[in-house]
Amino acid sequence: MSENKPVNVSRDTVDHLFDIEGRVAIVTGATGALGGAIAVAYALKGVKVVATARNAQKLDALRVQIEGEGGVCTTVAADPSDTDSFAQVIEAAKREFGGVDILAVAHGYNKPENILTQSVEDWSYIMDADLKSVYIVCKMVAEEMAQAGKGGKMVVVSSARSKMGMAGYTGYCASKGACDLMIQSMACDLSAQYGINVNTINPTVFRSDLTEWMFDPDSAVYQNFLKRLPIGRLGEPSDFLGLAVLLASPAADFLTGGNYDATGGYWAC
């Protein structure tokens, strides 16, 4: 006969499931819609943020906003596809905050074009911006985390398009599909031995400067999208924050190598 054992869940565990206060996060693409939202959200949760992108002026505005909210932020203008440049981001994290616990990768680029007219150079540029640079920043931060020996969390923004083709998207879909598999492989390299958890978030359309035009409810694009969107609307950057915090937090200690759906149900139908 089996005993009635108490359920093994402690108040301490539950209270701190999503606690990321005091951690240090590098956020790439911090001048963009999703990277900016992640940087502000992490800072409001008490994370010390190293915000990076190539545009120093926009980074400065983000830092002023975060500091205005009482958050802690430093910025480094850097190119994620350049190892010397990105090394300065890691140096800043170590110098200013003593290391790095979380990496959020939210930079990216697309220039849709039919394969018949697209140049090989344009295709390669997309692959470098959306895949090679992601490899570079993950590799460099993983080396730092492995050396520090404290583990860490990596949250990489991929796309719903990683698992679905689209006209004009030979570069974007290929890079995002490869990104998902690269992150799964990184989990195999990094999680058991080094305690570094690596996951992607895969969004559909979220409001940004580039996607703003899709949000016109009268447009055919919007109406067509909605036919395949069980949630009934497109995404706002604030819709993105739950997964971004979850995957950086102790609640994700058992989550690695995953591709997390932020599609509003787009993958479901």
Q: To 5 degrees, how large is the angle CA 238–CA 63–CA 103?
A: 65
Question: Shortest gap between Cβ of 14 and ligand NAP (angstroms)?
Answer: 31
Judged by CB under 6 A, does residue 163 bind ligand NAP? no
Q: Look at strands 48-53 and 102-105 and give their pairing.
A: unpaired
Grouping H, G, I as helix, E, B as strand and the rest as coil, residue 81 is coil
Which stretches does DSSP call E strand in the chain?
A: 24-28, 48-53, 72-77, 102-105, 152-157, 196-203, 258-262
Q: Which is nearer to ligand NAP, 166 or 192 (CB)?
A: 166
Grouping H, G, I as helix, E, B as strand and the rest as coil, residue 174 is helix
Interface mask toward ligand NAP for 194-223; x: CB under 6 A: ---------x-xx-xxxx------------
Report residue 60: phi and psi, to 5°. -60, -40
Q: Which is nearer to ligand NAP, 58 or 94 (CB)?
A: 58
Question: Shortest gap between Cβ of 202 and ligand NAP (angstroms)?
Answer: 7
Catalytic one of 42, 169, 172, 260: 172
- Scan for tokens 């949760």, then name that residue: 45
Q: Is 194 a catalytic residue?
A: no
Judged by CB under 6 A, does residue 259 bind ligand NAP? no
Interface mask toward ligand NAP for 113-132; x: CB under 6 A: ----------------x---
Structure tokens at 101: 């616990």
- Choose, by CB under 6 A, the member of 159, 199, 200, 263 that binds ligand NAP: 159
Give the number of other Cβ atoms within 10 Å of residue 64's Cβ: 12
- Choose, by CB under 6 A, the member of 43, 49, 100, 106 that binds ligand NAP: 106
Report the Cα 255 to chain-centroid distance in Å: 15
Residues that bind ligand NAP (CB under 6 A): 29, 31-35, 53-55, 58, 80-81, 106-109, 129, 133, 157, 159, 203, 205-206, 208-211
Catalytic residues: 172
